[in-house]
Amino acid sequence: MLGFALHGPRRGDQLLRELRAAIGDGRLAPGTRLPSSRELAADLNVSRGLVVAAYEQLTAEGWLTTRRGAGTVVALAALPHPTHHRVPGGAPHPLPLRPGVPDLALFPRAAWRRAYHHALSTVPDADLDYPGPLGAPRLRQVLAAHLGRVRSARADPANLFVTTATAQALTLLARVLPGRLVGVEDPGSAGLAEHLVSNGLTPVPVPVDCDGITVPPPGLAAVLVTPAHQYPEGVVLSPARRAALAAWARAEGALIIEDDYDAEFRYDRDPIGCVQGVAPDVTALVGSVSKALAPAVRIGWLLAPPYLADNLVAARLAADRGGPALEQLAFAALLESGGYDRHLRRAARSYRTRRDALVAAVGEHLPGARVGGVAAGLHAVITLPSEVDDVALCARALALGLGSVPLSTLRHAPGPPGLVIGFAATSPGELTAAIRTLASLVK
């Protein structure tokens, strides 16, 4: 069944060697489902206990993983031994260590199915019409209460737009800003900067330090910030900086665009309210369920200052007239039932375990590196010794199927090399294997 046979004594050791070799040289690609222990035992004419022990050992080493409904599969980060340097064939996405990706296997399918069924069963016929430029009224009401409770936002449903995730919120804001210059964090998200450019805006780098973004220069129409868990450094915008940023926006007549990135997941710190809660007159709060649930849901929000409401309504009508109402009503039902909060607690427990595994693996295999930004969120920053070329390192890692991002590519100002690593979508065993592989490339 797997193309090899076992002979003589110590067949358990032979089985381990054969499976490691098959995974290492790409014959068993990441994501491949292995035969059940009973099937493989019959095929190899050995006891089932021997196969079970081999599967358990390889799972502990990070070569295999067990998935609900899929049995035992080759782990996404089960990479060749460093001396092989073979690219895994047909590796599925997302790549291990890619930042910004939740564990899609944690999506609460049963709770979402119940919420959708409830929405479909109870929606009045009239609500099957276009939901309007702000989105479904029921979700706006429930979501405003949620944002006020968990993010300390000043959330008025009259100023709350339901969007198809953060990208649409930024596109709508780009259409109503009075100028084209927008401050962005340095280092910061390359994807967000590219999105601004695609909407005719010009990003202006603003330095980030241990207290978050510094006060922007004059002449900007807006500044885009990730204050709850800065991407990529992971720092929190300090109270003093929040006050200074709000004062700058009022003095300049500028807008603070607050991307509530990674705000749902905290591990070693107390909850931190959003900037919009203390400066609602100059702040637009944007967020989505892409990290909390899954990108496929395509639901986000834009909580705007009242002075922008009329222009945003016009921009939204020109865009799509309000988005998919049934999905919005299903999310409202999930919020009202408590299913969303329960899912977040469950996911946070899983992500904390993976965060701990990542930190331990870096400490063991990359002792010269420093891990930061891990008190919250779904990613970490590993700062490397100055002599390491992080771009070349990530290129070699990508050839082995790892999706880490070089920190230097997210900077405009000079700074130490490093890696931005996502840990949420990768099991503890896979994380350990991936960090071990990265360490072999650094040496």
Supply φ then ψ for residue 189, to 5 degrees.
-70, 120
Strand partners for 162: 301
Q: And the tokens for 146?
A: 């949620």
pLDDT bucket at 61, cuts 50 / 70 / 90: low
Q: Which of 353, 409, 359 is nearest to 382 (CA)?
A: 359
Q: What is the mean pLDDT of residues 71-77?
A: 74
- Is residue 18 predicted with pLDDT exceeding 60? yes
Considering the chain, what percentage of its residues have pLDDT values greater than 90? 70
Q: What is the DSSP letter of 8?
A: S
pLDDT tens string 319-336: 988 889 999 999 999 999
Backbone φ and ψ for 163, nearest 5 degrees, come out as -115, 170
Strands in 38-103 per DSSP E: 64-67, 71-74
Which residues fall within 8 angstroms of residue 204, CB to CB, at 6 or more apart?
Answer: 181, 182, 183, 184, 216, 217, 220
SS3 95: coil
pLDDT at position 93 over 60: no
Above 60 in pLDDT, residue 78?
no
- Residue 3: pLDDT band (50, 70, 90) is low
- In this prediction, residue 9 has a pLDDT band, given cuts at 50, 70 and 90, of confident
Q: Which residue has the higher pLDDT, 129 or 79?
A: 129
Query: Does position 25 have pLDDT exceeding 90, yes or no?
Result: no
Of 418, 296, 293, 429, give the one whose Cα is nearest residue 366.
418
* 342-442 CATH, one of 2.40.50.140, 3.40.50.300, 3.90.1150.10, 2.60.40.10: 3.90.1150.10
Domain 11-78 has CATH 1.10.10.10: yes
Q: What is the reported pLDDT for 92?
A: 44
> How many CA atoms does the CB half-sphere of 439 hold within 13 Å?
16
In the prediction, which pLDDT does 86 show? 34
Whether residue 316 contacts residue 300, with contact meaning beta carbons closer than 8 Å, is answered with no
Predicted confidence at residue 70, as pLDDT, reads 63
Report the C-alpha gap between 235 and 214 in whole angstroms.
Answer: 12
Phi-psi region of 234 (alpha: psi -120 to 50; beta: other; left: phi over 0): left
Q: Find out whether 62 and 78 touch, Cβ atoms under 8 Å.
A: yes
Task: Please say whether the beta carbons of 336 and 142 come within 8 A.
Answer: yes
Burial classification of residue 1, based on how many CB atoms lie within 10 Å of its CB (0-12 exposed, 13-18 middle, 19 or more buried)? exposed
Each domain of the chain, given as residue ranges in start order, spans 11-78, 109-337, 342-442
Report d(CA 271, CA 424) in Å as an integer.
20
Is 0.75 surpassed by the pTM of this model? yes
Region of residue 405 (phi > 0: left; psi between -120 and 50: alpha; otherwise: beta): beta
Judge residue 419's burial from the number of C-beta atoms within 10 Å of its C-beta, 0-12 exposed, 13-18 middle, 19 or more buried: buried
Identity (one letter) of the amino acid at 411?
R
Give kind and range of the element (H or E) at residue 205.
strand 202-209
Q: Contact 224/208 with Cβ under 8 angstroms?
A: no
Digit-coded pLDDT (tens) for 283-316: 999 999 999 999 999 999 999 999 999 999 999 9
CB 77 within 8 A of CB 402: yes
Looking at per-residue confidence, does 87 or 308 come out higher? 308
Look at residue 88 in the predicted model and tell me its pLDDT. Answer: 37
pLDDT in tens, 406-427: 999 999 999 999 999 999 999 9
CA atoms within 13 A on the CB side of 318: 10
pLDDT of residue 435: 95
Tokens of 37: 């222990």
Burial 4-21 (b: 16+ CB within 10 A, else e): eeeeeeebbebbbebbbe
Cα distance between residue 370 and residue 368, in whole Å: 7
- Percentage of the chain lying above the pLDDT 70 cut: 93
* CATH tag, 109-337: 3.40.640.10
Q: What phi, psi does 92 have (nearest 5°)? A: -75, 160
For residue 300, what are the β-bridge partners?
163, 288
Contact 328, 299 (CB under 8 A): yes
Amino acid identity, position 390: D
Q: What is the chain's Cα-based Rg?
A: 24
pLDDT per residue as tens digits for the range 138-188: 999 999 999 999 999 999 999 999 999 999 999 999 999 999 999 999 999
Is 90 exceeded by the pLDDT of residue 119?
yes
Return mean pLDDT, the chain. 90
Q: Per-residue pLDDT averaged across 344-371, rounded?
A: 95
